[in-house]
Amino acid sequence: MNVIFSSESSRLAVEDGLVADETARSAREIAVDGFIVPGLRDAHFHPITYAASLVVPSLKSAQDFAEISQRLNQAADGMAPGVPMSAIRLDDETLAEGRLPNRHDLDTMAGDRPLIIHRYCGHIAMANTAALALAGVTSATPDPVGGTLDRDAQGEPTGVLREMGIEVVSLPLAEQSGPAVTDDQVVDAMYALASVGLTSIGGIVGCGDGPWADLGDQFSQLVRIADRLPINVRVLVIGQDSDQLRDAARRIKEVGSRRLTFLGVKIFGDGSLGGHTAAMHEPFADADTTGQLRFDAAVSRPLAETALNLGGIVAIHAIGDRANAAVLDFYEDIVAGGGDANRLRIEHASVLGPDEVAAFARLGITASVQPAFMASETEWLEKRVGPVRLTQTYPLRTLLDAGVPLAGGSDCPVEPPHPLPGIAAARDRCGIVPAQGLSAAEALSLFTTGAARALLEPEPLVAGSPADFVVLDVDPLAATPDELREARVLATYVAGELVEVPDGIVTWQE
Ligand SMILES: [Zn+2]
């Protein structure tokens, strides 16, 4: 049986939660009013940070420091004095001041309440003086491995924290304040994902350390709500050591939920384009730096081997071409040692020269891509990478033509969770180098077949595969990208059952 959606089908035979052959006598037929499409999958998603983005103060699209201050004060209303506060999704590109706020700026905003603000990319954060004091950070505190604490001319920390420097402050804050989101709020957030058409996500979580450590032990939170999950969460653990991975796989198995499975390990190779921390071969076009390579093969090897031995995958974040080259070298060794290339992913794979694309293709490494990045980077991407590298940034057409397996995602809450605008962006690229655009079917398959494969799920909507599907009000293969952006998800089915989304669920806040 072939994929069904192209036939404008509005019926599906289901048996025991699986797609049934139409001739199966005991199958039940689900008839819908709309277009049946395979359940949309997001290969790279941060479920707890997303849930937090719906409830903790978001600074996205704040125009200037005054607006940041106003939003923070609003959020602090009713909070006991002295309780630490976190805020997320700050984007300095939209700030009139044209720079990140430092500790002194934050002191005028939050006073003596410890405050940490995460840049939207998750690779940079800012702390005020009270937060630095709570964390015991002084001019004598050394930079941690893989990160920096920015300092002024006198050597005093400015409050700007980069990469592993973030958790130097966020961990002590988390100990003080506890998790920022409740279990109920995370469950609501997963219903919100069903309502936008997602039936599975690759859910990236930390275990109380690493980026967003102030959000608490995200892994344990997912395990606690496993039985309440309306959609499938394939867990990628931001693991620091092999024991942590083995422990995570064991705990997921013990829960025995169909919805929660162990997917593997997430490792960081570099930073972001927005923060100039992506590792590039050549300097950025608008800053005299080649970014920060965070990738350490010696540290990553045991993690990767453990994940593969546990039946999982390896997903390594690499945005700049230099980071991609380093990770591809590493994967070449893993493959030479007998590792399965089908289980090796590079997250983002944003800037790729011909050498990197060739290595992806030769090894068969999956590029886990986020087309929606283009929607929010239209204003500054060319300024960052320059005109030549712009044609090599998010090179979806080049990758697909080279035979590289692609998987779609959002990196939510970096971008909104909605997969349909992501599919649209893979087609028209929001105007960025349109020649790198995909066809309607190719773009859809990023978020269906491609992501399913990257999540170790069977081919969607074939006989015997889980009846995970959505009903749209348009045919995604006939709709224009703009029509797709406006399209509505009429219903979402997981394992043949309609997901009943509670009233009042919020899917996104700016
Ligand atoms: Zn991410």
| Three-state DSSP class for residue 301 | helix
Q: What spacing in Å lies between the alpha carbon of 77 and ligand 1's midpoint? A: 31
DSSP state of 449: I
Q: Residue 358's closest CA among 404, 293, 389?
A: 404
Cα dist from 508 to 70, 192, 246, 411, 480, whole Å: 20, 9, 34, 14, 24
Alpha-carbon gap, residue 334 to 344, rounded angstroms: 9
Which pLDDT belongs to residue 171?
Answer: 86
> Which residues have C-beta within 8 Å of that of residue 362, sequence separation ≥ 6?
none
411 Cα–ligand 1 center, Å: 5
Beta-strand pair 406-408/469-472:
unpaired
pLDDT given at position 27: 86
Using the mean position of ligand 1's atoms as its centre, give its distance from the Cα of residue 323 in Å. 15
How many angstroms does the Cα of residue 46 sit away from the middle of ligand 1?
6
Q: Ligand 1 mean position to 407 CA, how many Å?
A: 14
Q: Which amino acid is at 185?
A: Q
* C-alpha 54 – ligand 1 centre gap (Å): 17
For residue 108, how far is its CA from the centre of ligand 1 (angstroms)?
31
Q: How far, in Å, from the CA of 412 to the mean position of ligand 1? A: 7
d(CA 475, CA 485): 12
For ligand 1, the distance from its centroid to the CA atom of residue 23, given in whole angstroms, is 43
Residue from 402, 405, 407, 406 nearest 358 by CA: 402
Question: Tell me, what's the pLDDT at 78?
Answer: 84
Whole-number Å distance, alpha carbon 370 to ligand 1 midpoint, is 10
- Residue identified by tokens 């025991």 is 16
Asked whether the bond before 413 is cis by omega within 30 degrees of 0, the reply is yes
Strand pairing class (313-318; 260-268) = parallel
pTM (predicted TM-score): 0.88
Quick one: pLDDT at residue 211?
Answer: 59
Contact 119, 135 (CB under 8 A): no
Give the Å distance between the CA of 381 and the centre of ligand 1: 18
Q: Residue 414 Cα, ligand 1 centroid: separation in angstroms?
A: 7
Tell me, in angstroms, the distance from the centre of ligand 1 to residue 139's CA. Answer: 31
Gap from CA of 401 to ligand 1 centroid (Å): 25
Cα of 45 vs centre of ligand 1, distance in Å, is 6
Q: How far is the CA of 201 from the centre of ligand 1 (A)?
A: 12
Give the distance (Å) from ligand 1 centre to CA of residue 213: 14
57-170 placed in CATH 3.30.420.40: no
How many whole angstroms from 205 Cα to the centroid of ligand 1? 10
Ligand 1: centre distance to CA 234 (Å): 14
Query: 231: helix, coil or strand?
Result: coil
| pLDDT for 156 | 96
Compute the distance from residue 49 Cα to the ligand 1 centre, in Å.
10
pLDDT in tens, the chain (510 residues): 334 454 456 888 999 999 998 777 788 888 888 999 999 999 999 999 899 889 888 898 899 999 999 999 998 888 888 889 989 889 888 899 989 999 999 999 988 999 999 998 888 999 999 999 999 999 999 999 888 999 999 999 999 999 889 989 988 888 887 777 899 999 999 999 999 999 999 999 987 666 566 677 899 999 999 999 999 999 999 988 999 999 999 999 999 999 999 999 999 999 999 889 999 999 999 999 999 999 999 999 999 999 999 999 999 999 999 999 999 999 999 999 999 999 999 999 999 999 999 999 999 999 999 999 999 898 899 999 999 999 999 999 999 999 999 999 999 988 999 999 999 999 999 999 999 999 999 999 999 999 999 999 999 999 999 999 999 999 999 999 999 999 999 999 999 999 999 999 999 987
Structure-token pair, residue 362: 């030769």
Q: Please report the pLDDT score of residue 210 as a whole number.
A: 61
403 CB-near residues (< 8 Å, 6+ apart): 361
Nearest one of 223, 228, 268 to 247, comparing CA atoms: 223
Q: Which CATH class is domain 38-49+180-498?
A: alpha beta
Rg over alpha carbons for the chain, rounded to the nearest Å, is: 22
Closest to 215 (Cα-Cα) out of 85, 49, 45, 414 = 49
Ligand 1 centroid to Cα of residue 294, in Å, is 15
Alpha-carbon distance 202 to 219, whole Å? 13
Q: Where are the domains of the chain?
A: 38-49+180-498, 57-170
Q: What is the pLDDT of residue 6?
A: 46
Q: In what order do the strands lie in the sheet with 366-369?
A: 40-45, 198-205, 232-237, 260-268, 313-318, 344-348, 366-369, 406-408
| Cα 4 to averaged position of ligand 1 atoms, centre (Å) | 31
